[in-house]
């Protein structure tokens, strides 16, 4: 079988998991390959994501590694067997690979936790807000509209059976690069999205104690198995996917701290009953008032 010349983030993660399990079992590549009747170099290619592994041999390998967690085994098998196709497939060659990888890891998740300090999270953006971010950064109107359409298509995860939690720094909600009218519509859209039963939106205010605002956003994607969770660190030209358990644990703790420091989640009914309590609903309404003055 020919080796892959292009490797997706899903394929890279599958290979990395097999390498981590082998090293945890204390086996050399040669000895691990012997467990399933292949040579060491072939297993090295699998761990480097240059080729895949069929389900039967994968199960035998996991048994040899004494991996018995049924949920983990099932999800890892799905990870290895997936063809990587989904709604995002039509955008291949039209948007950066990092965007395709992000869509795929989001789709595999059952829970997502997002922290943003400069922008409203992508899956909560209105088209005009997203368009204002991309304007000037892309070469043609066609590229701009393709990126905006892709971002809007990502928002289908809002209506999937997923739990989504967002902590947004107040700085992101005060930026007016998109214009006052667009920003007002965007803030109203956040209030509407917070009405969804599976969506939680909190604002981290400038007055939050004991916290220096992070300049980099991060997204925690949990597929229903801690060991296969992924942290996505996004930049304008590249994205980094972190999957080491210690790294994931560190960002889980970081998000919990941010959530505790942030104002209570947007809750329209509760806010109307407790007008003397500062919360995310009240702060967003205060920002809306400022946009009118």
Please provide residue 166's backbone torsions phi and psi, each rounded to the nearest 5 degrees.
-125, 135
Tell me the average pLDDT across 194-208: 93
Average per-residue pLDDT for the chain: 91
Do residues 165 and 121 lie in contact, with contact meaning Cβ atoms separated by under 8 Å? no
Q: Which of these, 254, 272, 267, 229, lies nearest to 17 by C-alpha position?
A: 229
* Pair 288, 174 in one domain: yes
- CATH number of the domain residue 65 falls in: 1.10.260.40
Is residue 73's pLDDT more than 80? yes
Averaged pLDDT for residues 38-43: 94
Q: Are residues 134 and 148 in the same domain?
A: yes
| Partners of 113 in the β-ladder | 165, 220
Whether residue 250 is predicted with pLDDT greater than 90 in this model: the reply is yes
Does a structural domain hold residue 4?
A: no
Pairwise pLDDT comparison (274 vs 237), residue with the higher score:
237
Burial class, 2, CB count within 10 angstroms (exposed 0-12 / middle 13-18 / buried 19+): exposed
In this prediction, residue 215 carries a pLDDT of 61
Tell which of 81, 113, 134 closes a domain.
81
State the pLDDT at residue 293.
64
Closest to 147 (Cα-Cα) out of 130, 172, 129: 130
- Non-local (6+) Cβ contacts of 130 within 8 A are 122, 147, 148, 151, 152
Q: What does the alpha-carbon distance between residue 252 and residue 213 come to, in Å, rounded to a whole number? A: 17
d(CA 125, CA 160): 17
Half-sphere exposure of 26 (CA within 13 A, CB side): 0
The answer to whether the beta carbons of residues 232 and 140 sit under 8 Å apart is: no
Cβ atoms within 10 Å of 94's Cβ, excluding its own = 14
- Looking at the fold, whether 121 and 67 belong to one and the same domain comes out as no
Tokens at 250, concatenated: 């560190």
The answer to whether position 277 is within a domain reads: yes
Together in a domain, 210 and 91: yes
Q: What is the DSSP string of 67-109?
A: ---HHHHHHHHHHHH----SGGGGGBTTB-HHHHHHHHHHHH-
pLDDT of residue 208: 86
- Range with lowest mean pLDDT among 137-151, 167-181, 272-286: 272-286
Spell out the SS3 assignment of 215-241.
Answer: CCCEEEEECCCHHHCEEEEECCCCEEE
Task: Answer yes or no: is 276 within a domain.
Answer: yes
Report d(CA 227, CA 219) in Å as an integer: 16
Q: Are residues 25 and 77 in the same domain?
A: yes
Tell me, yes or no, whether 200 lies in a domain: yes
> Measured in whole angstroms, how far is the alpha carbon of residue 163 from the centre of its chain?
12
**In the numeric block, which tokens belong to residue 50?**
């240059």
Domain boundary among 44, 60, 81: 81
Q: Which residues pair with 222 in a beta bridge?
A: 111
Residue 272 has pLDDT above 80, yes or no: no
Number of domains composing the chain: 2
For the chain, what is the total number of helices (H) and then of strands (E)? 13, 6
- Please report the pLDDT score of residue 135 as a whole number: 84
For residue 69, what are the domain limits?
A: 9-81
277 and 161 assigned to the same domain: yes
Average pLDDT over residues 216-229: 94
Any domain includes 2: no
> Between the CA of residue 290 and those of 263, 279, 284, 285, what are the distances in Å?
19, 17, 10, 9
pLDDT tens-place string over residues 14-40: 999 999 999 999 999 999 999 999 999
How confident is the model over 99-122, as pLDDT tens digits?
999 999 999 999 999 999 999 999
Does 1 score more than 90 pLDDT?
Answer: no
Residue 227 pLDDT exceeds 70: yes
**Residues 183 and 71 grouped into a single domain:** no
State whether 146 and 36 are in the same domain: no
Which residues, 6 or more positions from 49, have their beta carbon under 8 angstroms from its beta carbon? 4, 7, 11, 12, 14, 15, 16
């Amino acid at each position: 079988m020919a080796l892959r010349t292009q490797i997706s983030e899903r394929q890279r993660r599958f290979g990395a998991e097999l390498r981590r399990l082998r090293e945890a079992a204390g086996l050399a590549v040669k000895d691990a390959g012997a467990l399933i009747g292949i040579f060491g170099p072939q297993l090295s290619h699998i761990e480097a994501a240059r080729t895949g592994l069929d389900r039967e041999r994968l199960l035998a390998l996991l048994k040899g590694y004494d991996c018995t967690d049924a949920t983990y085994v099932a999800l890892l098998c799905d990870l290895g067997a997936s063809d990587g196709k989904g709604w995002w497939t039509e955008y291949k060659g039209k948007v950066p690979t990092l965007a395709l990888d992000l869509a795929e890891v989001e789709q595999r998740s059952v829970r997502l936790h997002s922290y943003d300090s400069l922008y409203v999270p992508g899956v909560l953006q209105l088209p005009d807000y997203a368009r204002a971010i991309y304007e000037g950064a892309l070469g043609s109107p066609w590229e701009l509209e393709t990126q905006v359409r892709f971002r809007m298509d990502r928002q289908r995860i809002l209506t999937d059976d997923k739990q989504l939690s967002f902590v947004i720094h107040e700085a992101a909600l005060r930026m007016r690069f998109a214009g006052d009218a667009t920003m007002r519509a965007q803030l109203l859209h956040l209030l509407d999205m917070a009405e969804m039963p599976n969506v939680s939106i909190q604002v981290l205010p400038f007055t939050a104690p004991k916290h220096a605002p992070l300049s980099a956003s991060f997204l925690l994607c949990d597929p229903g198995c801690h060991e296969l969770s992924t942290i996505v660190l996004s930049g304008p030209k590249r994205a980094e996917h972190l999957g080491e358990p210690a790294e994931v644990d560190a960002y889980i703790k970081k998000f919990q701290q941010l959530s505790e420091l942030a104002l209570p989640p947007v809750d329209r009914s509760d806010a109307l009953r407790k007008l003397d309590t500062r919360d995310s609903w009240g702060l967003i309404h205060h920002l809306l008032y400022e946009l009118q003055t």
